[in-house]
């Protein structure tokens, strides 16, 4: 049987200490280690076919150095971007991320939690679907470290990283008002999720007609967005602006407006939420609320690592957003 390559073998091959090899291969940062030496150590590990003993490492640290990440839908640009940021940030601290998508299903979220707990992840970062309070309380009861990201339940004390959704929506609608829009419609999800309802609340409180809200079922997006846009445009006094509270609603809304040959922004101004490449490809680049994705991801990892070391500590981080103003909401003079 072929002898298993050790850290000592790599150290001898490169001509450095075993401690230095361990430092580099465990992804720890050290400014005094040159890039050249780091590259030599990593290449030697590949050339010698080094395979770390994860079981021994886990027993020694009493950790698996893995994080369970559950997002709403990895196909959504928001979810995929935040997942990549979390993965990169976790790797900086020597952790591996195992992904799962809830598909906005509470039962699937529960299944993923149990699956990942059986894999003995050290903790979770989760974007919970609606009506998942029991899953949150379960994690608290069994003492598993976790951080809620983006979505949260205000009545439950837990680690959380989110944005000021109310302020973000209010800023978007105020921008439309400042640009002369009088009749503003809002398209949002029919949901119990607090963060989305805060977006709706922030928008509605500034509108002249709070009845101009179109609520969309999550499993009937195209149909319900079309119905909302049709209703807005069929009023005796049609809307002259629409605020969409997510990127998927925005894209569906743009398709609906385009099919009706509505000129944007001349007839109807549009503001969306979250970033997606589709906003750049539209003939009138879309104004949108930009979330601080890098900060959301890095803060979530930071809070989780702290929770792993300090299980009884809880922290809530609320980040601000930026309104990116482009052609879809401003008429050129």
**pLDDT > 70? residue 319:** yes
Confidence of residue 76 (pLDDT cuts 50, 70, 90): confident
- Residue 68: exposure state from Cβ atoms within 10 A (0-12, 13-18, ≥19): buried
- The neighbour count for residue 228, using CB atoms within 10 Å, is 25
CATH architecture for segment(s) 64-163+293-320:
3-Layer(aba) Sandwich (3.40)
Alpha helices in the chain (DSSP H): 7-14, 18-25, 35-47, 54-61, 77-92, 106-118, 133-142, 165-178, 194-204, 221-233, 247-259, 278-281, 293-309
The pLDDT of residue 165 is 97
**pLDDT > 70? residue 289:** yes
The pLDDT of residue 146 is 97
Both structure tokens of 238: 């049609």
Per the confidence metrics, is the pTM higher than 0.85?
no
For 7-19, the DSSP string reads: HHHHHHHHTS-HH
Both structure tokens of 174: 């105020």
Mean pLDDT of 184-213: 94
> Is residue 73 within 8 Å of 105, Cβ to Cβ?
no
Identify the three-state secondary structure at position 106.
helix
> Is residue 25 within 8 Å of 52, Cβ to Cβ?
yes
For 30-45, the DSSP string reads: -TTS-HHHHHHHHHHH
Tens digit of each residue's pLDDT (9 = 90 or more) over 121-154: 999 999 999 999 999 999 999 899 999 999 999 9
The pLDDT of residue 10 is 87
The pLDDT of residue 55 is 47
The pLDDT of residue 59 is 45
The CATH number that domain 165-291+324-329 falls under is: 3.40.50.2300
Tens digit of each residue's pLDDT (9 = 90 or more) over 206-235: 987 888 999 999 989 999 999 999 999 999
Query: Which residue from 293, 315, 74 is spatially nearest to 163, judged by alpha carbons?
Result: 293
Q: What is the dihedral of CA 321, 81, 93, 12, to 10 degrees?
A: -150
> Is residue 276 within 8 Å of 251, Cβ to Cβ?
yes
The pLDDT of residue 1 is 45
The pLDDT of residue 29 is 55
Tens digit of each residue's pLDDT (9 = 90 or more) over 28-64: 655 577 888 888 888 888 788 777 665 455 544 568 8
What is the spatial distance between Cα 202 and Cα 167, in angstroms, rounded to a whole number? 6
**pLDDT > 60? residue 157:** yes
Backbone angles phi, psi at 180, to 5 degrees: 85, 10
> Which residues make up the CATH 3.40.50.2300 domain(s) of the chain?
64-163+293-320, 165-291+324-329
The pLDDT of residue 121 is 94
Q: What is the dihedral of CA 280, 331, 329, 290, to 10 degrees?
A: 60
The pLDDT of residue 333 is 55
The pLDDT of residue 57 is 52
Backbone angles phi, psi at 207, to 5 degrees: -85, 145
């Amino acid at each position: 049987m072929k002898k298993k390559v050790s850290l000592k073998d790599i150290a001898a091959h490169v001509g450095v200490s075993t401690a230095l090899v361990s430092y580099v291969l465990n992804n720890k940062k050290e400014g005094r280690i040159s890039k050249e030496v780091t590259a030599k150590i990593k290449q030697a590990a590949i050339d010698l076919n080094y395979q770390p003993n994860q079981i021994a490492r886990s027993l020694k640290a009493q950790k698996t150095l893995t994080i369970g990440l559950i997002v709403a839908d990895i196909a959504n640009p928001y979810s995929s971007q935040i997942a990549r940021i979390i993965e990169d940030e976790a790797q900086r601290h020597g952790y591996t991320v195992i992904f799962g998508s809830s598909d906005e299903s509470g039962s699937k979220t529960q299944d993923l939690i149990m699956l990942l707990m059986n894999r003995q992840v050290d903790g979770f970062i989760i974007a919970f679907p609606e009506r998942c309070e029991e899953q949150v309380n379960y994690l608290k009861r069994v003492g598993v470290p976790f951080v809620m990201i983006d979505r949260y339940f205000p009545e439950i004390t837990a680690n959380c990283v989110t944005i000021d959704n109310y302020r973000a929506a209010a800023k978007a609608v105020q921008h439309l008002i400042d640009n002369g829009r009088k009749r503003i419609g809002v398209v949002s999800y029919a949901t119990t999720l607090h963060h989305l309802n805060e977006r709706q609340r922030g928008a509605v409180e500034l509108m002249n007609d709070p009845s101009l809200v179109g609520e969309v079922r999550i499993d009937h997006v195209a149909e319900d967005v079309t119905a909302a846009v049709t209703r807005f445009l069929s009023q005796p006094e049609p809307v002259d602006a629409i605020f969409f509270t997510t990127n998927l609603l925005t894209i569906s809304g743009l398709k609906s407006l385009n099919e009706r040959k509505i000129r944007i922004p001349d007839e109807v101004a549009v503001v969306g939420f979250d970033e997606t490449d589709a906003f750049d490809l539209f003939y009138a680049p879309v104004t949108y609320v930009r979330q601080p994705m890098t900060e959301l991801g890095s803060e979530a990892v930071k809070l989780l690592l702290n929770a792993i070391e300090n299980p009884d500590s809880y922290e809530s981080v609320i980040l601000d957003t930026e309104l990116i103003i482009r052609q879809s909401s401003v008429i050129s003079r």
